[in-house]
Amino acid sequence: MTAVNRLRPRRSCLAVPGSNPRFLEKAQGLPADQVFLDLEDACAPLAKEGARHHIVDALNNGDWTGKTRVVRVNDWTTHWTYRDVITVVEGAGPNLDCIMLPKVQDAQQVVALDLLLTQIEKTMGFEVGKIGIEAQIENAKGLVNIDDIAGASPRLETLIFGPADFMASINMKTLVVGQQPPGYGADAYHYILMRILMAARTHDLQAIDGPFLQIRDVDAYREVAGRAAALGFDGKWVLHPGQVDAANEVFSPSQDDYDHAELILDAYDWCTSEAGGRKGSAMLGDEMIDEASRKMALVIAGKGRAAGMERTSKFEAPEA
């Protein structure tokens, strides 16, 4: 199986209805890290077959430069899934990065998609294993089985929280997707988000927060996105162009944090070198840094580099 870099930038994951050619064209010009062309909830049942062909055409003939290209198929409990996968992958496999599988409830559903993708790739002469899988966790059963799901396939790239269906599956008392339910004083989503995050990190996957449906309230979107970003999530869905910039900002480090992280990495490399005295720790200004500091800095620096940030400071070795 082909070795593929699964840690792509996903600060903003833009949902685009596969049945709307105008939206498919417009999405190509938006600054989202990832675009997923949707065959599931955004497509009416009678529009799904036509949407498959719209998506194949958009993937093959559109300009998706700089974007991760994903198609969300229907879940395995429907009769549409296999035809979604076959039509899209056979038609546009070389121009497709991932298949998103919604409502994943157990590991076997991921295994089934992996097997189908492998058969298509071999039949069509595509690179085996190049197309990744994104698993969407949308109900209680999926969350309970999340460790097995996260380890089900080397194709897996992300675990995604699907809040609307999840809230319905546990009978949460609210109709506002992504906002806190009334009558509960703490964060009702904290356990769910942390459970997804722990499973993702255990298997070196990315963790993505789902949509916020109040699309015109960008301040509220920032607040909800900030909660996931603070925990360590890699990105969040966007349903409207107005949310894209907010997601990119929230899930990128600040310039000061990015510069500081790069300085820590440079300083630690220097202090552990022959020229720096082969020390296990050193001072960076008033701050002591060591191996643990380096690991933390790698996370922030990695996010900044993925976001295309540039340094505004330079490390200078202290004089002897």
Contacting residues for 93 by C-beta, under 8 A, at least 6 apart:
120, 121, 124, 126, 131
Query: Computed from CA positions of residues 254, 197, 30, 59, in that sequence, does the dihedral angle turn out positive or negative?
Result: positive
Residues tagged in the binding site annotation: 72, 138, 165
Helix axes 218-231, 190-202, angle to 10 degrees: 50
Helix axes 255-271, 291-306, angle to 10 degrees: 140
Question: How far, in Å, CA of 13 to CA of 35, rounded?
Answer: 6
∠ at Cα 199 (193, 200), nearest 5°?
85
Residues tagged in the binding site annotation for substrate: 72, 138
Q: Considering only CA atoms, which of 268, 276, 271, 196 is closest in space to residue 232?
A: 196
Question: How far, in Å, CA of 3 to CA of 18, rounded?
Answer: 29
| Tokens 């630690």, located at residue | 268
Residues tagged in the binding site annotation for Mg(2+): 138, 165
| Tokens 């799904």, located at residue | 48
